[in-house]
Amino acid sequence: MTIIRQSLSLLLFLTMVVGSLSAGQAARFVTGEQLFALLNSNDVGQRAAAKFYVLGAVDTASLLRDPKICVTPDTQSAFLTKKLLKMLSERPELRRYNAASLVREILAQDFPCT
> N- to C-terminal Cα distance for the chain?
31
Closest-CA residue to 17 (of 39, 49, 48): 49
- Domains of the chain, start order: 2-110 (1.10.890.40)
Closest-CA residue to 61 (of 13, 109, 5): 109
Q: Which tens digits make up the pLDDT trace of 19-67?
A: 554 444 454 689 999 999 999 999 999 999 999 999 888 888 888 887 8
Q: How far is CA 51 from the centre of its chain?
A: 7
Q: How many Cα atoms occupy the beta-carbon half-sphere of 106 within 13 Å?
A: 23
Whether the per-residue pLDDT at 91 is higher than 60: the answer is yes
Q: Quick check: pTM over 0.75?
A: no
